[in-house]
Structure formats: C-alpha cells, structure tokens
A and B are shown apart, each in its own frame.
Chain A
C-alpha cells in the first residue's frame, strides 16, 4: 500500500497568512493526488485534483503543486472560512489512501 505522510499535523496561522501543507507518498504516484478541506461536522470538499487542478468554485488562493512523491497545498492570504482540516489522497492505486490530515487553526 502507498503511505501518505502529511505535515504538519497542525498549524497556527492568522488571517492573511500564507500556509503551506506538504504530502509525501511512499511510492511515486505521478500526479494522482487530490486535496480536500473538511470542517467540523461536515463532509469533505474537493479543492485540488490531479495535483494542481483547481476544482470548480474553489477560490484561487488555493493552489497545489508537485509530482511523483512530493506535493504541496498552498493557501495564500488565509481567510476566516479557511480554518479547517486538510487531507491529501493518492488516487493512483488501490487502496486510495489519505494522509493523516492537517488542522489549520488560529
């Protein structure tokens, strides 16, 4: 199975900050990586797919990069509604594993 290591597990930030979250795959997954945002009590929301493609309706302050084993989610100019937990998921091979999550908090 491909393991997804996400870091940091939590980050404290302020409105307007730039936040970077990394995800490392234990094997190469090309660009088969997605990023999700989840708020308490809610279902996850797709932000980025294919490592760098912005899902329709997602603000442009979110961006993704990377290929192979190393990936990054960047949130520019953090907004109040961005405080949430973020997950990466490899979509290259079964099982489609998630990272452990990164909680972005004040």
Chain B
C-alpha cells in the first residue's frame, strides 16, 4: 500500500524558513516523480513544485519560484521542500503526492494527509 507521510509543518514567522519532509513507502520511490501541492484554508488546490525520478527535472509555481526548493533522497525514500522568505500567503496545508510516472508530467495518483504551515507573527 502506498503511504506518504508529511512532516515539518507548524507556525513560522514571516520571512523565516521551513523545511517540509515526506516519507514514502509501499512503492519503488525512485521510479516515480513526486510533487508538492498546497491548499490554503477554504481555498482551491495549488500545485507548488514537482521533481522527476532522478532529480533531473524540477518545476515550480510562479508564486514560489526562487523561494522554494524541492529535492529528494532516493536512498531514504524521502521528498523535501525547503521554503524560505515565507509570507502569510504561504499559509496552507501542504500535500506530498506521487506522480503517475517517472516524469513530472501526468498527474498525481496518491497523496499524503498533508501538513499545515501557518505563517504569522
């Protein structure tokens, strides 16, 4: 069974940094692209970032480009999102998602339960 468990969320002050982690199990991690998607409370889904199976290709939403960095450690079956220069607009539930294939394109077929990031002074 595919399992994705996010961690690292919490309350952080504006301008500070935070690192999210996603522990994956139940599938061959390095066969698939991975994604981060977020959802502000009461709002719709926003794709944040994606990374191909071998980290050779990454992509970001315009809203986080230059502030967030996605990475993965295939030896540890883990996905990360380093977030910097956080603003209240980054407040959201952050979901880790497994891609449909090794490439970033194509969608996400399994999701974690999310971790809440609150940016506030």
- CA–CA, A75 to B60, complex, Å? 32
Residues of B within 8 A of A81 (CB): none
Residues of B within 8 A of A89 (CB): 45, 47, 107
Which residues of A (49-106) have their CB < 8 Å from a CB of B?
Answer: 49-50, 55, 87, 89, 91-101
B120 on interface, CB distance cutoff 8 Å: no
Residues of B within 8 A of A87 (CB): 44-45
Could you tell me if A44 and B95 are in contact, using CB atoms closer than 8 angstroms?
yes
Could you tell me if B46 and A98 are in contact, using CB atoms closer than 8 angstroms?
yes
- CA–CA, A46 to B110, complex, Å? 7
- The main secondary structure of chain B at its interface with chain A is strand
Residues of B within 8 A of A95 (CB): 47, 59-62
B113 on interface, CB distance cutoff 8 Å: yes
Query: In the assembled complex, how far is the CB of residue A50 from the closest CB belonging to chain B, in whole angstroms?
Result: 7
A-side interface residues, number (CB < 8 Å): 25
Could you tell me if B46 and A43 are in contact, using CB atoms closer than 8 angstroms?
no
Residues of B within 8 A of A96 (CB): 35, 47, 50, 59, 104-105
- CA–CA, A36 to B35, complex, Å? 15
Cβ 8 A contact of B45, one of A38, A49, A50: A38
- CA–CA, A96 to B105, complex, Å? 8
- CA–CA, A34 to B110, complex, Å? 13
Cβ 8 A contact of B106, one of A1, A32, A44, A101: A32
B9 on interface, CB distance cutoff 8 Å: no
- CA–CA, A91 to B109, complex, Å? 12
Which residues of B (68-121) have their CB < 8 Å from a CB of A?
Answer: 95, 100, 104-114
A-B contact pairs, 9 of them (CB 8 A): A32-B105, A38-B45, A43-B95, A44-B95, A45-B111, A89-B47, A96-B59, A96-B105, A98-B45
Given A43-B95, A44-B95, 9 more contacts at CB 8 Å?
A32-B106, A34-B107, A36-B45, A46-B108, A91-B105, A92-B105, A96-B47, A96-B50, A101-B45
